[in-house]
Amino acid sequence: MLSYGLKRLGLSVAVVVIVIAALFVMIYAVPGDPARVALGPRASDALVAELRARLGLDLPIWSQILRFYGSILQGDLGRDVISGAPVLKVILAQLPDTLRLVGGAMLVAVVPGIVLGVISATHRGSAIDRLTSVLSVSVMAVPSFVIAIYLLLIFSINLGWFPAIGAGQGFWDVAHRLVLPSLALGLAWIGYTARILRASMLEVTGQSHVRTARAFGISDRRIMYDYVLRIAILPTITVLGLGIGQMLSGAVFAEIVFGRPGIGKLVYDAILARNYPVVTGTVLFTTVFFVAVNLAADLLIAWLDPRVRHDLAH
């Protein structure tokens, strides 16, 4: 377990190191002098030179990239060009709203996803299995922002069941305003969850320990819950880990359509304002989050299922 965990951790770190290098290259390749862009066209040459020295822009490139890694290691993602606040602090201030939305979307995805997956696998080839399969690929295909716009149009504007804008205050108001954006963000993942669970259950059903259990006369219901579902649920954990990571940044559409604060809104506003440190900082933050969640999901599976760590450690 330890050797598998270390290998998996090393790979994650290597991936993040590469992503940081790519971000550095992009910032470096941007036309125009970042110092001049930050200060505006009317700044004096002396002022620009001073900022260049302060930002380390006059150093050779290898020295700049080391400084870049060094500051990121210290949690310094740069400063918001407009407010002057540290980017990490700006991101953390927006995080709770987005996490609430992702939590809501996970709730939307997990419960119906697992129920539909189990029903499909146990009723393979039936009408309900086929219907679930078509519905699954349909919600996976339609982009979440189109779903968000139509939900807003139907349930907020036409029917008036839900407020259209803002995150709200107090538990019930916040929950009320979470319903539509969570649906928009989570709907596709009902499909992913149901599909992977169905496939994985059918695979486990064909394995010999299930055949043996059946030969012993154990009831279908017990076989399904005690012998099949307990193993078949594992790939679902991987998919949901992937889901949390993708949702954190996919939230940008739900946040804009429903006028909610959050990480997505933050990065969108930063792009329009050419607030580069906030953009790169958010990309790095969400990437590290994504990599960390996937790592956690993989380690959880290896811990639950000894076969995985044996296969992958060698």
Residues that bind another protein (CB under 8 A): 11, 14-16, 18-19, 22-23, 26-27, 29-30, 121-125, 134, 137-138, 140-143, 145-146, 149-150, 152-153, 157, 199, 202-203, 205-206, 210-211, 214, 220-221, 223-224, 228, 245-246, 248-250, 252-253, 256-257, 264, 267-268, 271-272, 276, 279-280, 282-283, 286-287, 290-291, 294
Buried b (16+ CB within 10 A) or exposed e, 26-40: ebeeeeeebbeebbe
Coil, helix or strand at residue 137: helix
Q: How far is the CB of 10 from another protein (least distance, A)?
A: 11
Q: How far is the CB of 51 from another protein (least distance, A)?
A: 21
Residue 288 tokens, joined = 């590290």
Nearer to another protein, 283 or 300 (CB): 283
Nearer to another protein, 28 or 306 (CB): 28
Q: How far is the CB of 45 from another protein (least distance, A)?
A: 26
Q: How far is the CB of 168 from another protein (least distance, A)?
A: 20
* Contact between residue 254 and residue 262 where contact means Cβ atoms under 8 Å apart: no
Q: How far is the CB of 22 from another protein (least distance, A)?
A: 7
Nearer to another protein, 196 or 301 (CB): 196
Quick count: other Cβ atoms within 10 Å of Cβ 58?
12
Residue 310 tokens, joined = 């044996």
Strands in 4-157 per DSSP E = none
Nearer to another protein, 16 or 115 (CB): 16
Q: How far is the CB of 204 from another protein (least distance, A)?
A: 10
Nearer to another protein, 22 or 53 (CB): 22
Nearer to another protein, 104 or 264 (CB): 264
Nearer to another protein, 48 or 294 (CB): 294
Quick count: other Cβ atoms within 10 Å of Cβ 54?
10
Q: How far is the CB of 121 from another protein (least distance, A)?
A: 8
Nearest Cα to 249, choosing from 138, 109, 105? 105
The runs of H, that is alpha helices, within 123-232 are: 127-141, 144-151, 171-205, 208-215, 220-222, 230-232
Residues 6+ apart with CB under 8 A from 221: none
**In whole angstroms, what is the distance from residue 43 CA to residue 53 CA?**
15
Q: How far is the CB of 44 from another protein (least distance, A)?
A: 27
Coil, helix or strand at residue 221: helix
Nearer to another protein, 94 or 249 (CB): 249
**In whole angstroms, what is the distance from residue 265 CA to residue 101 CA?**
13
| Amino acid (one-letter) located at 47 | L
Q: How far is the CB of 252 from another protein (least distance, A)?
A: 6
Q: Using alpha carbons, list the distances in angstroms from residue 181 to 128, 252, 259, 305.
A: 28, 11, 10, 35
Nearer to another protein, 125 or 170 (CB): 125
Residues 6+ apart with CB under 8 A from 239: 189, 192, 193, 196
